[in-house]
Structure 1
């Protein structure tokens, strides 16, 4: 049964305010997010949930039954779905998303942190131990480890957690219950990440390891708009722009016309290989910046990329879907030509080779078969990049 969406009554607002006070006292570094969500009543929901536009759906019966302590902990849980961008990360999972499995994976990752921080979560919450998983893991790793689940019939934690959008969710610009737009969401996440980082640096309270890791990743977000860059450099990548598709005769379409073969709709994907400079001249800031751009490319291509660590020799290519999977092996001299050659030798051949380097390297004299993008952490190396390649300066973190 679909819940009934309406504004909160005065009594419900007071009960939610008490729960939010508990939440802020338990996790003060989340205060900005806790006061940024837009609460509405969802009568009959039997839980709390969030949508992609940062609306918080509160079932009044659950709010009263749980009381301020448990409701405050659940409120922190729902806000964690939003700041960790579980909806956007669900969109980047390979293949059709198993929403039930993703819901278990994200709940386990969040609750693992909240229990470690001492929040009074209800006894029935999902934990890594309950799923037979190790503590301290990340959502994508939990998702990969879990067995496929039957499609869920309940709401889960809402579209803001990566569940399907519900028919009863208002539109972004609904006049009665307006949500946050993408710009407001980005600003809010960055503010919370700074607050978490400051709390860690000042030793205020117990910051869960997963929360600290998220803040570090958020503040190392990629600078390059990879979706636009890749689309502009490779003609087949035009479909990376939202809503862009093309026709293909490699597979017949479902439409049947007499004596006519119709094409099927196809959404082409660009294939990219990354060469990461791991020579001795790359500082920790250079490497952190490179890893942030790896994450940007992964999100742009919508899946996994092949990454080659290279100094004066190229390591074996690794298929990665998270920057944390990159193994930075090296520390010697610098010759990105070797890494570029190794990338072009991969099968299938990549459309684009992205080199992440400080720029202190020789470059190929002749144009490469794949389009070459040089991302440099130091501006002085820009003049060395061949004219036929694309050079982008991204200052080191």
Structure 2
């Protein structure tokens, strides 16, 4: 005889889950519940449907069902299906065994801090300790640390659905099925949950707080942004443009007896100013050298067109770039990049683009330079020294500079 799905019991379990984890309420109510006798317990797909076995609901108490609901919605919030697909593509992993391993690793990421404080631990829940691994790590970290074997033999039944490992199931309704959420809707749910966690961080475990920070402030691909900013500056109108009489202008035919010069585009010259003051760490100076090499590639590989200037409170000699590891970075005192701008603009020939790599703790020129400016800003929390004026606030990069945060 077919067991019907106990909707009242599931509703009670969801309310208990919301009471225990109020910051997940938006996600718990956004997840669509679908009756399915083909899943052993509960499983989710990437479209935020939760497939529920009526027999599983009938045999387990409300308290355990609430914990499983929180577990399943955590797979969706943390994008385990997308992360599993990317990991599989990157490491050339195929087959159901590897997808099972991803499901186990995803469960270990979730379960290390999912239970307690109103939620009981379900029987058979996979914990990092079950795999003899350290808690607090991500799915991708765990995947590098274990393989299927005797320790995981008892987990062969595990199936949290395609929403956990990215592999479609036969019971999935797919993108055209009923009650699925679109990508825009799932992004909105994640953002609302992340805002709730950040608004009341004391109620959420550390793992959820880290997730919320990444969801609200995703890391920027700063290397691509910096490269794009430099390429945009060197290719902009006016960069590298000059007049020449070696070829007359086309409009000379309209003015008999007058020779007009034509506009010629020459390779743009770039001056890189590296902040070498005491507030810049050795690691940041190393990053600045790497970015200088990348800037050279953005300029087409012409090292003769790139000049490097180290600057703290005084500008050093502008050195033509030979190789990144041979650049002398002198300094270690205070910071005043105004001297660096003055030195860069006084070199001959003058640069078409100035790139500044700094931590931002410096005065800036009061007026716009006569060339385009890109600022690579080392993104880090500023530490106040014991003898520093509490009212001191360093100047922000000016509006006329294109700013990209590094790191």
TM-score (norm 1): 0.57
Q: Give the distance between the partners of 1:16 and 1:210, measured in 2 at CA.
A: 27
Q: Who is 1:179 aligned against?
A: 180
Deviations 1:360-395 (A, max 9, x none): 9999988x9xxxx99999999993239xxxx97567
Q: What SS does structure 1 have at the residue aligned with 2:124?
A: coil
Q: Who is 1:215 aligned against?
A: 212
Q: Give the distance between the partners of 1:187 and 1:156, measured in 2 at CA.
A: 27
Q: Who is 1:341 aligned against?
A: 293
Q: What SS does structure 1 have at the residue aligned with 2:73?
A: helix
Q: What SS does structure 1 have at the residue aligned with 2:136?
A: coil
Q: CA deviation at 1:340?
A: 3.2
**Superposed counterparts of 1:22-171, under 5 Å:** 22-93=16-87, 94-97=90-93, 98-115=98-115, 117=117, 119-148=119-148, 156-171=159-174
Q: CA deviation at 1:67?
A: 2.0
Q: CA deviation at 1:38?
A: 0.9
Q: Give the distance between the partners of 1:228 and 1:394, measured in 2 at CA.
A: 7
Q: What SS does structure 1 have at the residue aligned with 2:43?
A: strand
Q: Give the distance between the partners of 1:229 and 1:383, measured in 2 at CA.
A: 14
Provide closer, same or farther for how the CA distance between residues 226 and 181 of structure 1 changes in structure 2, counting only shifts above 3 A: farther
| Structure 1 alignment gaps of length 5 or more | 235-276, 284-308, 315-335, 351-359
Deviations 1:280-333 (A, max 9, x none): 7789xxxxxxxxxxxxxxxxxxxxxxxxx853335xxxxxxxxxxxxxxxxxxx
Deviations 1:15-39 (A, max 9, x none): 2111101110111100000000111
Q: Who is 2:191 aligned against?
A: 190
Q: Give the distance between the partners of 1:384 and 1:48, measured in 2 at CA.
A: 55
Q: Does the 8 A contact of 1:87 with 1:160 survive in 2? A: yes
Deviates further, 126-135 or 150-159: 150-159
Q: Give the distance between the partners of 1:193 and 1:24, measured in 2 at CA.
A: 15
Q: CA deviation at 1:218?
A: 1.4
Provide closer, same or farther for how the CA distance between residues 278 and 31 of structure 1 changes in structure 2, counting only shifts above 3 A: farther
Q: Does the 8 A contact of 1:103 with 1:163 survive in 2? A: no
Provide closer, same or farther for how the CA distance between residues 229 and 168 of structure 1 changes in structure 2, counting only shifts above 3 A: farther
Q: CA deviation at 1:187?
A: 0.9
Q: Give the distance between the partners of 2:147 and 2:45, measured in 1 at CA.
A: 26
Residue 311, structure 1, aligned to residue 299, structure 2: no
Q: What SS does structure 2 have at the residue aligned with 1:57?
A: strand
Q: What SS does structure 2 have at the residue aligned with 1:384?
A: strand
Q: Give the distance between the partners of 1:278 and 1:127, measured in 2 at CA.
A: 47
Q: Does the 8 A contact of 1:374 with 1:392 survive in 2? A: no
Deviations 1:69-99 (A, max 9, x none): 1001000000000001101111221313421
Provide closer, same or farther for how the CA distance between residues 376 and 173 of structure 1 changes in structure 2, counting only shifts above 3 A: farther
Provide closer, same or farther for how the CA distance between residues 312 and 185 of structure 1 changes in structure 2, counting only shifts above 3 A: same
Q: Does the 8 A contact of 1:377 with 1:393 survive in 2? A: no
Provide closer, same or farther for how the CA distance between residues 337 and 112 of structure 1 changes in structure 2, counting only shifts above 3 A: closer
Residue 384, structure 1, aligned to residue 373, structure 2: yes
Provide closer, same or farther for how the CA distance between residues 77 and 384 of structure 1 changes in structure 2, counting only shifts above 3 A: same
Q: CA deviation at 1:145?
A: 0.5
TM-score (norm 2): 0.56
Q: CA deviation at 1:13?
A: 2.1
Q: Give the distance between the partners of 2:33 and 2:101, measured in 1 at CA.
A: 27
